[in-house]
Structure 1
Amino acid sequence: MLGTTVTLQEHIRKRAEQDLGIRLRFIVQDGGAVQRDGAMHPERYELYDQWFHSLDCVWPTHALQPIELARILRWNEVNALPRTGRIDPGQATNAGCTPADRLYVQPDGSLGREASGRISMLPLTHNADSFVYLEDAMPASLTGTEESWAWLLAPELSGRVALQADAAIGAIDAALAVEASGLMRFGDIGNLSIEEIDALIAVLIDFKRRGHFAGFWSSFAEAAQLMIANKVAIQSIWSPATIELERAGLKFRLARPREGYRAWFGGIGISRLAHGRVLDAAYDYLNWWQEGWAGATVARQGFYISNPERSRAHMDAAEWSYWYDGARASADLPGPTSKHLVPVGQMRDGGSYLARMSRIAVWDSVMDEHNYLVRRWTEFMRS
């Protein structure tokens, strides 16, 4: 199974092996490497676990085979977000790579929203991401004001800012910050033109040469360590990193930016070379993810699952109220592998599932000019 640290975690592997009676080998790489190997080397894996925006790189290479919905036992439980792109019927369409546009396999083999009997990947984990900051490190000019992506470029925080290293994600966070700061306006923040990419990178290089950025991270463990080591005070973040910050006793906030969140949707696809008993085991694993336990364990690290009601039976009432309803924790709550993570009385930043996933500014994206963006983003990080 090829994927990232987002869901390829040891306690998940062990539980799946125990429940299914199969052997799983996790090949854990950073996002860019997973995209490359996913597209170029389908012989190296049977299951591909990554994000829907990665399909823009992987699907055209025919590395994945369509998933037959007739073999997905709980497909009817998958909620509206991956099917339509919105959790709230009144929600505006979001920028970026909306999962619904890449879900169904069309008669000509392309991907689209028109429902069919085959899908590209099984939609599973997802979240609305933003940035995290240490409350005690915030300057008086920012405290008491509405949280904004512009904070990532606040001159008062120069030298204490980190960004995600993956161009497909980090560049969107940076673009949100640049636009929120009033330095640029983008026609489509999820699909920048060559001219917009050049202008964005020029701004970022200027900030970097002035010492504004303290680092870049590729995994949530790296992100957590940057803050635990007191190298940064504010950074873009993935939810599991906040678990490490909790364990370290840091006083931090996960921002609810006024501009909206950057969202992502993860899923699992099947290599075109999987067949026979291995293919049967692959479908067993896909179905296992929808049975409830996996959804409950990822909820405890801040992620959501596409059929959440199935997970309710694997969470007590206090957990469900905290993670999904946005209520104050009525008891100490466990983490995915620890006895205690969330202290009694704490509230989750951002509120309920509906509140968070209804405020998406942009989905993670592979832009039309992705290759050019990667080259320029690499220049920025090396500048």
Structure 2
Amino acid sequence: MGDKISRRGVLKGAAAAGAATAVTGFPTVWAQNIKNITLNHTGMSYSTLIDIARKASEDLGFKVEMSVVDHPGLINRMINDPTSIDIADSEIWQAKVFVPQGTTQGIDVSKIETWDQVTPLYKDGTFAGKEVSREGDSPFEYMYRESADATSFATGPTGWATFVPSVYNADTLGIRPDKIDGEVSSWASLIDPKFRGKAAIQNIPTNGIMDAVMALQAAGEMTYGDRGNLTPDEINQTVGKLIELKKAGHWRALWNTFDESVNLMASGEVVIQSMWSPAVTAVRTQGVNCVYQPLKEGYRGWGNGLAMMSHLDGLKRDAAYEYLNWYLSGWVGGFIAKQGYYISIPEKAKDFLTENEWGFFYEGKAATAPITSPTGEVTNKAGDVRDGGSYEERFSKVAVWNNLMDNAPLLFGKWNEFNAA
């Protein structure tokens, strides 16, 4: 561990030190060579943020670049153009596609300095001392491999991780309380006729289907054996009901992008919809009252991980490990907390948050001063409490996880019918 810290410490200063003192040999030569490395981090817009690349490049002394793709685009790049990516920032369920293809390598957990501090949510499948829901693709189920080049998952902890746990959250519905009469306390509200023409659902089939499942079961219109792995009949019935709602004019939109969801809610065209936490933040920065509403049936959980592509070796693999260790060291956790996301080592994030911010985002305490977004706009005023409460309160109520179902090809085909209806 000490070696890792010292190596990272010389990355930015080695060249200057070498010029001043004529010091040669490792780690100075290593640092002078690694500064010529460029790492490409590719993932979705909510986590693949240019601010992270800039800070990493500044701190590490080599260049980190970000490439933003959508969910299908990431899998396409990983399978068909794997050498164009170095670090794949994937959702957990996507590992079910890329690990069998052999496009990523196992991560040696002994080279991750703070592995012992990573949340048990990923490492052990527990949270607050209890097993987390296994409906859907929970992180622990895809966390480990038997070896660096294994193309299947281990059933328990090993020395090889599929990915380094990164950002995650508990998702729910976004609402405009200033435009809604009465309380919203159930997923059933997403399909309530009183919101006809004012509701929207995300147009990502793996995620949108879960919001539909939660809503239809809460409304008593469907009962599922396993909400995270629907049977063909359940898929047909569920999407059939979504199509019926669409033909009745219920859906104002099926949104595809972060910006679409923000604009729909900020404009008031939509008053209830599938939403991501940073989108709620973005609406609030416009001075619009938007709430990430806790619901009695629980949350839809999701998580991301940083995977190392198989082509990495030598100095570039060294750089990748440096980057993964930096990612967990705290700055990223503090930055993404202001978007409403959690990091896999919360205590490290604490060092990069004020006492007020830590209390608000993680402890469920009322803000003692205004809370701001990562770019400085006010999102919450003093006295506000985070929607859903503390970290423990929110994640103790995860009911299902984003997933790739066994019958995914059928789902994708039916979802296309939903779009075309």
Contact 2:367 2:382 in 1 (8 A): yes
Partner residue of 1:53 out of 81, 93, 98: 93
- Structure 1 stretches lacking a partner, 5+ long: none
1:251, CA displacement in angstroms? Answer: 1.5
CA offsets per residue over residues 29-51 of structure 1, 9 Å max, x none?
11222123223321221110021
Could you say which residue in structure 2 is the equivalent of 1:314?
352
Contact 1:157 1:212 in 2 (8 A): yes
1:296, CA displacement in angstroms? Answer: 0.5
CA offsets per residue over residues 300-354 of structure 1, 9 Å max, x none?
1100011110111111111100000011100112321215333211111100000
CA offsets per residue over residues 171-199 of structure 1, 9 Å max, x none?
11111111111111111111011111011
Could you say which residue in structure 2 is the equivalent of 1:215?
253
Q: Structure 1 length as normaliser, TM-score?
A: 0.96
Runs of 4+ in 1 over 4 A off after TM superposition: none
AA matched with 1:96? G
Partner residue of 1:122 out of 155, 160, 164: 164
Partner secondary structure for residue 176 of structure 1: helix
Kindly indicate whether residue 26 of structure 2 is the aligned counterpart of residue 4 of structure 1.
Answer: no
Could you say which residue in structure 2 is the equivalent of 1:361?
399
Could you say which residue in structure 1 is the equivalent of 2:33?
none
AA matched with 1:95? E
Aligned partners of 1:44, 1:264: CA distance in 2, in Å? 26
AA matched with 1:20? L
AA matched with 2:173? F
Aligned partners of 1:39, 1:160: CA distance in 2, in Å? 39
Kindly indicate whether residue 84 of structure 2 is the aligned counterpart of residue 44 of structure 1.
Answer: yes
1:170, CA displacement in angstroms? Answer: 0.7
Contact 2:138 2:401 in 1 (8 A): yes
Partner residue of 1:63 out of 82, 86, 103: 103
- Structure 2 stretches lacking a partner, 5+ long: 1-40
Partner secondary structure for residue 291 of structure 2: strand
Aligned partners of 1:311, 1:123: CA distance in 2, in Å? 14
Partner secondary structure for residue 369 of structure 2: coil
Aligned partners of 2:131, 2:84: CA distance in 1, in Å? 40
Could you say which residue in structure 2 is the equivalent of 1:135?
177
AA matched with 2:412? V
Aligned partners of 1:285, 1:37: CA distance in 2, in Å? 21
Instruction: Return 347-356 or 92-101, whichever deviates more.
Output: 92-101
Aligned partners of 2:52, 2:131: CA distance in 1, in Å? 33
Partner secondary structure for residue 268 of structure 1: strand
Contact 1:83 1:103 in 2 (8 A): yes
Aligned partners of 2:214, 2:166: CA distance in 1, in Å? 26
Contact 2:174 2:273 in 1 (8 A): yes
Partner secondary structure for residue 43 of structure 1: helix
Superposed counterparts of 1:131-280, under 5 Å: 131-139=173-181, 143-144=182-183, 147-280=185-318
AA matched with 1:181? A
Aligned partners of 2:344, 2:43: CA distance in 1, in Å? 18
Q: Cα distance 1:277–1:90, how it changes in 2: closer, same or farther (>3 A)?
A: closer
Aligned partners of 1:163, 1:365: CA distance in 2, in Å? 17
Contact 2:167 2:343 in 1 (8 A): yes
Partner secondary structure for residue 127 of structure 2: coil
CA offsets per residue over residues 209-228 of structure 1, 9 Å max, x none?
11111112233222111111
Aligned partners of 2:267, 2:289: CA distance in 1, in Å? 14
Kindly indicate whether residue 88 of structure 2 is the aligned counterpart of residue 25 of structure 1.
Answer: no
Aligned partners of 1:263, 1:168: CA distance in 2, in Å? 13
Contact 2:88 2:307 in 1 (8 A): yes
Kindly indicate whether residue 325 of structure 2 is the aligned counterpart of residue 283 of structure 1.
Answer: no
Q: Cα distance 1:113–1:338, how it changes in 2: closer, same or farther (>3 A)?
A: farther
Contact 1:2 1:38 in 2 (8 A): no
Q: Cα distance 1:17–1:166, how it changes in 2: closer, same or farther (>3 A)?
A: same
Aligned partners of 1:303, 1:30: CA distance in 2, in Å? 19
Aligned partners of 1:277, 1:35: CA distance in 2, in Å? 26
Partner secondary structure for residue 329 of structure 1: coil
Aligned partners of 1:379, 1:255: CA distance in 2, in Å? 30
Q: Cα distance 1:90–1:181, how it changes in 2: closer, same or farther (>3 A)?
A: same
Contact 1:84 1:113 in 2 (8 A): no
Count residues in correspondence. 379
Instruction: Return 130-139 or 190-199, whichever deviates more.
Output: 130-139
Contact 1:100 1:112 in 2 (8 A): no
Aligned partners of 2:155, 2:371: CA distance in 1, in Å? 38
Aligned partners of 1:266, 1:22: CA distance in 2, in Å? 24
Aligned partners of 2:402, 2:301: CA distance in 1, in Å? 6
Aligned partners of 1:112, 1:260: CA distance in 2, in Å? 29
Aligned partners of 2:316, 2:132: CA distance in 1, in Å? 41
Partner secondary structure for residue 308 of structure 2: strand
1:110, CA displacement in angstroms? Answer: 1.8
Could you say which residue in structure 1 is the equivalent of 2:386?
348
Aligned partners of 1:249, 1:334: CA distance in 2, in Å? 12
Aligned partners of 1:226, 1:86: CA distance in 2, in Å? 36
Partner secondary structure for residue 379 of structure 2: coil
Contact 1:5 1:219 in 2 (8 A): no
Cα RMSD over matched residues?
A: 1.4
CA offsets per residue over residues 122-148 of structure 1, 9 Å max, x none?
011110000111112223xxx14x611
